[in-house]
Amino acid sequence: MNLPAALQPSSSSIQEHPKPAILKKCIALLLSCASSTQKLRQVHAFSLRRGVLPSNPDMGKYLIFTLVSLSGPMSYAQKVFDHIQSPNIFTWNTMIRGYAESDDPDPAIRIHSQMCLNSIAPDTHTYPFLFKAVAKLMALRFGEKVHSTAIRNGLESLVFVRNALVHFYGVCGQAESAHQLFVTMTEKNLVAWNSVINGYALNSRPNETLTLFREMELEGVRPDGFTLVSLLTASAELGALALGRRAHVYMVKMGLDRNLHAANALLDLYSKCGEIREAKQVFHELEEKNVVSWTSLIVGLAVNGFGDMALDLFKEMEEEGFVPTEITFVGVLYACSHCGMVDEGFSHFERMQKEFGIKPKIEHYGCMVDLLGRAGFVNRAYEYIKNMPLEPNAVIWRTLLGSSSIHRNFELAEVARNQLMRKDPTHSGDYVLLSNLYASGRRWSDVHMLREKMLQGGVKKVPGHSLVELGNHVHEFVMGDLSHPQTRPIYAKLAEMTKLLRIEGYVPHTLNVLADIEEEEKETALSYHSEKIAIAFALINTPPGTPIRILKNLRVCADCHLAIKIVSKIYGREIVVRDRSRFHHFTNGDCSCKDYW
């Protein structure tokens, strides 16, 4: 790219040695351009006419620094940089920083390579900027090489470099490496704490995230908005509502509730904990909203079963002038899918492309396959997959397998399973889905055949577990759990629940129990599912009438869904169960999903 004509120096105007007074004036003018790229361009033109640029390193340094500070176009900065004779380390670092903070951080690596080829020694600022770029690119192997170079240069132990390293390893999925570096730091500032906490939060390690946050509190380090985003993310993943509420109180006390990133994370927490009323309240109290705020609530309403409200909010978002993103449309299509709105789903899918120019990604096609499958149009879903412009991934085929199992379409279930055997042969959930289907048809020989294939392939079934938060502690239960200190009273309450369920007319749903055993044994197996144990635990440890919240890592089975509906009526409790795909709000014998899940 060439400089604009107005900014091109004439041969007569370029001086080898511009007067110090002119240089000083140009630099002073640049410093006055703190908020305007247009003024910067005018100063640039003036400096070219006076012969200060293009080659003067001091003027070039200030021009590039001001451009980067204004988040100006890096193509402009690069053109200026290319004309500077012998740029100093500050200028090299500024270019790396500019690319690191841009939407295209990749050239930062090229600039660093050029710097090395020119024998420019890095300083204390080089590596923090470079690691920021490498973290954005998630270039783990390259980052490790740069880490080795930093050690050789004796700069690895500097606090700014170490902070950047902790952030880099955390973002690249190496939370343990980030923590090891953090532990060896002699000086741990807020940035370091935030980086290591965020590393665990990003890598779905909520327990470690919360443990480090408590350590941070004990060390007397005051959290900021970034800390709270990580804390709320971890709390949302664990379903730790009480801890999230504590964070909310702290946010209000410290004035951080006006931090939009933290407020959006809080909105997401309440949505993911099934507290949609509180999510809506946080949303409506926001002084400033961005598209993330709208999208978070739209998705929250959708996964909590309030599809109509999600679509109304989407309409309101458009009326307010916000432009939906591809993620917003994932939420909209999800709402349509989980509420059986087939026509609305196809309408929004078409609008996404025609009105907003958003090219559908695999996630959007996945929503459409799910939309058709859930509604019982399994054959249409299969045809849709075959006509997709993108190659269907394992998730798409797994979605078809799930809907085929629900609607007992043996033929398509086996088609989907054959595709999954090629794309993801070790996923235990696929075997379970097909086994459920075979068991529902009493095809026990096929069930046993699948079990043999799992054993031969070394595939292990992911054990179901349920989490309950009580007293700032998350209790975990698995099927038939006997490890909890309250095992005796829990099983006594479980026996009471079973007795009262029978009185209410409950009949166990045993079709999908994966064993050819006596009916009585099947019923016993069902009564010890982890979510039932978790509910029994909550019933004996919480006051009457208070809501019960359960987080389940797998899809709630048909029997548990039926039983929990009746339990909510017997004990007069609202029971909120978050399974792997959505929320179920059980109240007075009914569920918010209307048995459509």
Whole-angstrom distance, CA of residue 451 vs CA of residue 457: 10
563 Cβ contact partners less than 8 Å away, ≥ 6 residues apart: 497, 501, 506, 532
pLDDT band of 135, cuts 50, 70, 90: very high
pLDDT greater than 80 at residue 194: yes
pLDDT tens string 514-536: 444 343 444 445 567 889 999 99
- Residue 474: what pLDDT? 81
pLDDT over 60 at 85, yes or no: yes
pLDDT value of residue 526: 59
Q: What is the pLDDT of residues 55-80, one digit of tens each?
A: 667 777 888 888 888 788 898 889 88
- Reported confidence tier of residue 344, pLDDT bands at 50, 70, 90: very high
Q: Which residue has the higher pLDDT, 253 or 177?
A: 177
Question: For the segment 166-180, what is each residue's pLDDT rounded down to a tens digit?
Answer: 999 998 989 999 999
Average pLDDT over residues 481-509: 89
Q: Give the DSSP per-residue string, 402-424.
A: HHHHHTT-HHHHHHHHHHHHHH-
Task: Give me the pLDDT at residue 510, please.
Answer: 56
How confident is the model over 487-507, as a mean pLDDT? 91
Nearest Cα neighbor of 169 from 147, 185, 154 is: 147
**Longest Cα–Cα distance in the chain:** 101
Could you tell me the pLDDT band of residue 54, with boundaries at 50, 70 and 90?
low
User: What are the residue ranges spanned by the domains of the chain?
Assistant: 360-462, 465-591
Instruction: Check residue 18 and give its pLDDT.
Output: 52
C-alpha–C-alpha distance, residues 334 and 485, integer Å: 40
Predicted local confidence at residue 4, as pLDDT: 42
pLDDT value of position 53:
62
Residues 292 and 259 sit within 8 Å (Cβ to Cβ) = no
pLDDT of residue 521: 41
Res 593 pLDDT > 90: no
Q: What architecture does CATH give domain 360-462?
A: Alpha Horseshoe (1.25)
Residue 54 CB: number of other CB atoms within 10 A? 22
The DSSP symbol for 205 reads -
CA 437, CA 418: separation in Å to the nearest integer? 15
pLDDT for the residue 55? 61
Confidence of residue 7 (pLDDT cuts 50, 70, 90): very low
